[in-house]
Amino acid sequence: MAADTRPKLPPPKLPPLRDVIAAHGLQASKALGQNFLLDEQLLDRIAAIPGPLEDQPAFEVGPGPGGLTRAILRAGARLVAVERDRRCLPALSELSEAFPGQFRVISGDAMAVDARAEAGEGAHIIANLPYNVGTALLIGWLSADWSPLPWWSSLTLMFQMEVAERIVAKPNGDHYGRLAVLSQWRSDARIAMRVHRSAFTPPPKVMSAVVHITPRPAPEGVQLKHLERLTAAAFGQRRKMLRQSLKGLPGALEALEAVGIDPQRRAETVSVEEFVETARVLGRL
């Protein structure tokens, strides 16, 4: 097929987001965990975090009035978005018309939508996640089949600062726990941007941050189910020594001994690599 040599058209001129919100009578819903971002420059910076998006598949959860959506579309992505709040659909429909063939909206609950089937292989997931389902969605994406990589190319996600810190945490800190291990054992996670509460409408009570996660090939010989059981037991009683917290998990103490981890240590001192090695041994027992 011959390359498309037609000149790229400039992005369509869109009305200010505040005007869109006013025209459609949209108010952020506390019940749906909504907080709208209206700063177009900030939104463009978030959309730039994954890298070049020109003609790349992308997936967004909870676009609301379409602030981040605009930025992703301006970057050239082929975007699929899932919106539960039907009040926002007319505003999003206007974006579909402004970016013909580039944007599709699904009316539904992101927790029930098959993102892989809808967005396609290699999609970049970019979202200002609703606070009430953000962690659950993240865990679902991190638990995807890895063969040798997951179906998504990257995750660029807005969280409350506390959740972001838990995702990127290192051992020996209060934020380090199961979410850090799950996020880091076969992917790289970093805080790409901190966002002040005043950037949102309405302002939330806490600060936020954008986390960027890129997958790596999974360590060989380790199954997610063994790592999940191990970390659930270890961090379920995080202030106790491992010999106490892991005694109810068959084979766990034997695996610790085989790896050479002192059972008097606490879970928060065990590195991601040590959890991975222990889970590898546990899977063989």
Q: Which of 235, 35, 231 is nearest to 132 (CA)?
A: 35
Is the pLDDT at 4 greater than 60, yes or no?
no
Quick one: 202 and 231 in the same domain?
A: no
pLDDT of residue 32: 65
Q: What is the mean pLDDT of residues 36-62?
A: 95
Quick one: 208 and 271 in the same domain?
A: no
pLDDT of residue 178: 97
- Say if 276 falls within a structural domain: yes
Quick one: 247 and 192 in the same domain?
A: no
DSSP state letters, 56-96: -EEEEE--TTTHHHHHHHHTT-EEEEEE--GGGHHHHHHHH
pLDDT band at 27 (very low <50, low <70, confident <90, very high): confident
Is the pLDDT at 1 greater than 60, yes or no?
no
35 among annotated binding-site residues: yes
Q: Per residue in 198-225, is it b (16+ CB within 10 Å) or e — as a string?
A: ebbbeebeeebbbbbbbbeebeeebebe
Quick one: 144 and 64 in the same domain?
A: yes
pLDDT of residue 17: 85
Quick one: 162 and 35 in the same domain?
A: yes
- Say if 10 falls within a structural domain: no
- Say if 9 falls within a structural domain: no
Quick one: 77 and 199 in the same domain?
A: yes
Quick one: 73 and 114 in the same domain?
A: yes
Quick one: 33 and 152 in the same domain?
A: yes
- Say if 266 falls within a structural domain: yes
277 among annotated binding-site residues: no
Inter-helix orientation angle 272-284/252-259, to 10°: 120
Quick one: 211 and 249 in the same domain?
A: no
Is the pLDDT at 285 greater than 90, yes or no?
no
Provide the domain count of the chain. Answer: 2
Of 190, 215, 240, which one is at a domain's C-terminal end? 215
- Say if 206 falls within a structural domain: yes
Question: CA-to-CA distance for 236 and 130, rounded, in angstroms?
Answer: 26
Quick one: 275 and 138 in the same domain?
A: no
Residue 70: give its domain's CATH number: 3.40.50.150
Higher pLDDT, 200 or 268: 268
Question: What integer best gives the mean pLDDT of the chain?
Answer: 93
38 among annotated binding-site residues: no
Of 215, 237, 265, which one is at a domain's C-terminal end? 215
Quick one: 167 and 236 in the same domain?
A: no
pLDDT tens digits for 80-133?
999 999 999 999 999 999 999 999 999 999 999 999 999 999 999 999 988 788
Quick one: 117 and 239 in the same domain?
A: no
- Say if 273 falls within a structural domain: yes
Residue partners of 263: CB distance under 8 A and separation at least 6: 241, 242, 243, 246, 253, 256, 257
pLDDT of residue 2: 47
- Say if 171 falls within a structural domain: yes
Of 185, 215, 245, which one is at a domain's C-terminal end? 215
Beta bridge partners of 200: 37
Percentage above 70 pLDDT, the chain? 94
- Say if 105 falls within a structural domain: yes
Helix, coil or strand: residue 7: coil
Q: Which residue's entry shows tokens 């003609």? A: 55
Q: What domain range includes position 161?
A: 17-215
62 among annotated binding-site residues: yes
Q: Which residue's entry shows tokens 């974006």? A: 95
Pairing of strands 208-215, 187-195: antiparallel
pLDDT tens digits for 137-187?
999 999 999 989 999 999 999 999 999 999 999 999 999 999 999 999 999
pLDDT of residue 3: 46
Q: What is the mean pLDDT of residues 184-208?
A: 92
188 among annotated binding-site residues: no
pLDDT tens digits for 246-280?
999 999 999 999 999 999 999 999 999 999 999 99
Residue 244: give its domain's CATH number: 1.10.8.100
pLDDT tens digits for 13-26?
888 888 988 898 88
pLDDT of residue 131: 77
pLDDT band at 238 (very low <50, low <70, confident <90, very high): confident
pTM: 0.92
